[in-house]
Amino acid sequence: MSQTTEQTNRLTINKDKKPCYDIVFEHDFRNLEEELKVLGTLEKRICIVTDSNVEKLYGAQIVEILKKVSKKCVLYSFPAGEEHKNLSVVQGIYEFLIKEGFDRKDLLVALGGGVVGDLTGFCAATYLRGIDFIQIPTTLLAQVDSSIGGKTGVDFSSYKNMVGAFYMPKLVYMNLSVLKSLDDRQYYAGMAEVLKYGLIKDRIFYEWLISSMYEIFDRNPDTLEEVVKKSCQIKKMVVEKDPTEQGERALLNLGHTIGHAIEKYMDFKLVHGECVALGTVAAAYISWKKEMLSMEEYYEIRDMFVPFNLPISISQIEPEKVLELTKSDKKMKAGKIQFILLKKVGKAVIDSSVTDEEMLAAIKEIYFNEEEM
């Protein structure tokens, strides 16, 4: 049964109760030209920023479309991977924009996954004190999460997303058919963020995801449309209430404190969504130990990641070192980690009382010691 009643292909994100930008859900790139014309691009230069993987897949096609709606269209590509989400790539983009004569009226287009979107958004926020940008997210994770809500930025030193800005795109254009060819690992990593929405805000959605598991494995187009739209509706609700993460938006960080620490410990050999799954299991474990969840609920939440090809344990870590790495996370208020816990499926809370001992016990819970086998 359909979870979304809205039959439109568009969601509007409001800021201060006024329309700020649209998310459009399409099944190809055909309407991109019209969407851009409406934004007045005919008089603009456009720079598409993408990575080496996405360039091969969609670079030429998008250049062809954007040439028709701009006075000049160029493409900048950088090597794919989280290790390139840094200030030296940003510097390369600034230099390219200067060389190509980009001014404040021009436009950047982020074509790719979360790394491309965050980094391009940051360039847009800072080049000439801010130029417009749009998002064309090409991974499930970027479509359901990172392209919406205006978080932009790069990693700095060993700190994830340490340098950045809240800066809204002018449009998010989603071609849902790109999900068909996404590699399995990236696809299921995106599902970790989708499951997260159900866990923090919507039990019915969570249960629907589980009952739609086989359609999700098959990447059934109708099911995927439902998955992406519903996730975007939940994200819209959260970011409209709290655009700069003063409160409720922090709920979207379920699984991210320990998840980011594992991501760093593993030197990005696991992808973000896999680390979010591990971090969510750890958060659910703490929720059980704090008597917010029952033991049965904890095990159900944990085990539900398995059919979605997401890890629930990891053998390559040293739990004490992962705990240490949680200290460099940004999710602090007055020196205390803002931990996201679960009261039940569909209801998350912010908790500042989680101790190092509780975190360590949770990291040990997901640590699978092969030597003891």
Taking the least distance from each CB to ligand GLY, the nearer of 244 and 353 is: 244
The closest residue (CB) to ligand GLY is: 252
Are 76 and 171 in contact by the 8 Å Cβ rule? The answer is no
Closest separation between CB of residue 242 and ligand GLY, Å? Answer: 9
What CA–CA distances, in Å, run from 130 to 94, 161, 170, 194? 12, 19, 12, 31
- Count of Cβ atoms closer than 10 Å to residue 41 Cβ: 24
* Rounded Cα distance, 253 and 95, in Å: 34
Using alpha carbons, list the distances in angstroms from residue 38 to 22, 42, 49, 154, 170. 12, 9, 21, 30, 11
Q: Sort residue 15 into left (φ over 0), alpha (ψ -120 to 50) or beta.
A: beta
250 contacts 147 by C-beta, under 8 angstroms = no
Nearer to ligand GLY, 65 or 337 (CB): 337
* Smallest distance from ligand GLY to CB 151, Å: 5
Tell me whether residue 48 or residue 252 sits nearer to ligand GLY (CB atom).
252
* Near ligand GLY in 317-356, by CB under 6 A: none
For residue 234, give Cα distances in angstroms to 199, 326, 355. Answer: 11, 27, 30
Of the candidate spans 23-31, 64-72, 119-127, 145-153, the one that interacts with ligand GLY by CB under 6 A turns out to be: 145-153
Q: Which residue has the tokens 């499930």?
A: 140
C-beta of 148 vs 304, nearer to ligand GLY: 148
CB of 103 to ligand GLY, least distance (A): 30
Part in contact with ligand GLY (CB under 6 A); list of ranges 51-59, 146-154, 173-181, 280-288: 146-154
Contact between 118 and ligand GLY by CB under 6 A: the answer reads no
Kindly tell me which of 216 and 252 has the beta carbon lying closer to ligand GLY.
Answer: 252
Which span (55-63, 117-125, 144-152, 315-323) binds ligand GLY, by CB under 6 A?
A: 144-152
Regarding 145 and contact with ligand GLY (CB under 6 A), the answer is yes
Nearest distance in Å: CB 194, ligand GLY:
12
CA–CA distance, 304 with 4 (Å, rounded to integer): 23
Cβ nearer to ligand GLY, comparing 149 with 198: 149
DSSP 346-358: TEEEEES---HHH
Stretch that binds ligand GLY, among 66-74, 143-151, 320-328, 354-362 (CB under 6 A): 143-151
Q: Which is nearer to ligand GLY, 62 or 252 (CB)?
A: 252
The verdict on 200 binding ligand GLY (CB under 6 A) reads no
β-strand pairing of 132-137 with 159-166: unpaired
Binding mask 217-256 for ligand GLY (x = CB under 6 A): --------------------------------x--x----
CB atoms within 10 A of CB 309: 16
Q: Tell the residue number behind the tokens 């939440």, with chain if given.
A: 301
Contacting residues for 91 by C-beta, under 8 A, at least 6 apart: none
Supply 304's token pair.
């539900």
Residues 147-176 that bind ligand GLY (CB under 6 A): 149, 151
CB of 351 to ligand GLY, least distance (A): 17
- 121 vs 319 by CB, closer to ligand GLY: 121
Residues contributing to the site for ligand GLY (CB under 6 A)? 145-146, 149, 151, 249, 252
